[in-house]
Amino acid sequence: MASFATLWLCIFFLLCCAYAGEADYILYKDHKQHLNYRIKDLLSRMTLAEKIGQMTQIERKNASADVMKNYLIGSVLSGGGSVPAPMASAEVWVNTVNEIQRAALSTRLGIPMLYGIDAVHGHNNVYNATIFPHNIGLGATRDPELVRRIGVATALEVRATGIPYTFAPCIAVCRDPRWGRCYESYSEDHAVVQAMTEIIPGLQGDIPANSSKGVPYVAGKDKVAACAKHFVGDGGTHNGINENNTIIDRHGLLSIHMPAYYNAIINGVSTVMVSYSSWNGVKMHANYNMVTGYLKNTLKFRGFVISDWQGIDRITTPADVNYTYSVLQGVNAGIDMVMVPYDYPTFINDLTSLVNKGVISMSRIDDAVRRILRVKFTMGLFENALADLSFAEQLGSREHRDIAREAVRKSLVLLKNGKRANEPILPLPKKASSILVAGTHANNLGYQCGGWTIEWQGGSGDTTVGTTILDAIKFTVDGSTDVIYSENPDASLVKANNFSYAIVVVGETPYAETNGDSLNLTIPDPGPSTIQTVCGAIKCVVVIISGRPVVITPYIASIDALVAAWLPGSEGQGVADVLFGDYGFTGKLPRTWFKSVDQLPMNVGDKHYDPLFPFGFGLTTMPTGRMISAAVVRNERYGMVSLFINLLGTFIVLKTCCFEGCLFFEWE
């Protein structure tokens, strides 16, 4: 009898264990389950407060453990210049992100938070990161494969700091250089911008061959979720005024400003950010027809839509005049995650009240949260929520800096080479008795990088780690060449020295967004006077550092050679590589260079098109001392007869290049 009772006790114990194991099983935490089942299961367990928390993104400075747990916050960001400490290391960043993440994981459902940052030309908020050329320079390269590699490198550096999400790329089509964000645009031509969306698979990884259109995809721990921005028409605002009204018919909007979004969505972009701007008077943050009707329903985008920084606040004029109305309009328009860096309690209270009153439907809330969870599950955040230091060595690595240096070389556009076609000045000789380097931007890394670098508006001086153009010149020239630097030399200095030639580096000082809006587009003082003083006395090459074309018509006659270097970033050596002929000039203008601001807006194809330099213009040079090897390769492949023909062909090419203002080259 005792043994029979014991048997039943054992069976009962096993049943209890089996039941307990089944009770502990949580479907949404099982990575082997289908994504849709996981989303459905988690969504069914969530309260309204937990759902609204997922829709809320706050600034890092406010993301204490108590705030994360009490408000059930789903996402955190670093705004421009928001860092855990000055010159913070990868380890400090990882520890900061993980501290916030642990607070999110300690909530009832343990939903990981998503941390985002503006890595718009490399991991630009982070000290010692590789700073790539801004998008306008990348547009000049016409090299999507290079841009893809930049995406790969940027993803690794962002992951090095424990961050899995970047608010990039900007795929605006800038139609007016007076716009303060023009340098964030690859081109005035939507086809160039479309080609450059190749950065998205660089950041996120290649989507699987059988993936459905519009489904977000992030390949693994070495990739980051990307964000196509700013939807849509941000580059077409009236007079180039930031956040202004884009006045254009539907056909124009869809044919100029929309095409890059088609590519982004096909490439599996995870998120889309809405523009501050309006379309024919309707704020995009409140535009249901475009955000829900077109982006979600027509284009079948299934990632999540995020607002811009305090974007819903600006639905009204002035901002915040009726915040509850703004919440209603923004969420009902189709915004899924709302960037409310500071006043998140008001947002959460207002949205909760609107749902409880039935003004915003629960189905709209569920759609938003479903999209957010889809991205988080796809990224693998539930399996790998906490970051480690496995990618720390990627931050500012030599390999990434070499890619950036290549990007600088390919982005340079040669606009003039010699005052007469048969007297080119570039490439410059490395060996000379003495040369003058002048200009405010020659020895200023902050100016060279531009806005969105360490600080939101950028800065001056050694703001991060990199190579200035002056240092690059000194490194490149022959050891016997005396390099004299003067930021703004007077006439006596120029005349008193027997300089072989001068390199003048001037341009715009850093800016971002509205602070960069300009109606005159002039080079700040003392840039113009430096050009006139130096170029009026000796042979000179002028290198323009700017986020867009600027006024150069008054000075161009006195300039021997003119180079548009855009905002090259941290690797100034790329400029010297091309000036001195180690590599040739290959860049093409990504946007029209005007004669006068009175012509603006002016884009290729316009009836009144009369530029100083047209879209696509760019003189070319060949690298010095590389002809024979190229001919030998052809010989090995085609034989001696072809070698003779190709040598003759090379001579013809050189004659053509000379006509454009290039240089005859010596044999090795």
**How many whole angstroms separate alpha carbon 512 and alpha carbon 510?**
7
**How many whole angstroms separate alpha carbon 502 and alpha carbon 474?**
13
Tokens describing residue 215: 């489904």
Active-site residue, 513 included: yes
Handedness of CA 643, 644, 647, 652 (dihedral sign): negative
Query: Which is catalytic among the residues 157, 198, 308, 517?
Result: 308
Active-site residue, 91 included: no
Query: Which is catalytic among the residues 50, 198, 234, 513?
Result: 513
Q: Report DSSP letters for 369-397, one per residue.
A: HHHHHHHHHHHTTTTS-S--STTGGGTT-
**How many whole angstroms separate alpha carbon 378 and alpha carbon 219?**
8
CA-to-CA dists, residue 439 to 368, 429, 502, 504, 608, angstroms: 51, 20, 10, 5, 35
CA-to-CA dists, residue 438 to 443, 483, 507, 589, angstroms: 9, 10, 12, 25
Q: List the one residue out of 519, 262, 267, 215 whose CA is nearest residue 378.
A: 215
**How many whole angstroms separate alpha carbon 276 and alpha carbon 280?**
13
> Nearest 5 degrees, angle CA 199-CA 119-CA 113?
105
**Phi, psi torsion values for 562, nearest 5 degrees:** -130, 130
How far the first Cα of the chain sits from its last, in Å, is: 103
Tokens describing residue 513: 């967004």
Beta bridge partners of 484: 436
**How many whole angstroms separate alpha carbon 565 and alpha carbon 649?**
31
CB 30 within 8 A of CB 38: yes
Beta bridge partners of 504: 438, 542
CB 139 within 8 A of CB 186: yes
**How many whole angstroms separate alpha carbon 383 and alpha carbon 412?**
44
Residues carrying an active site annotation:
308, 513
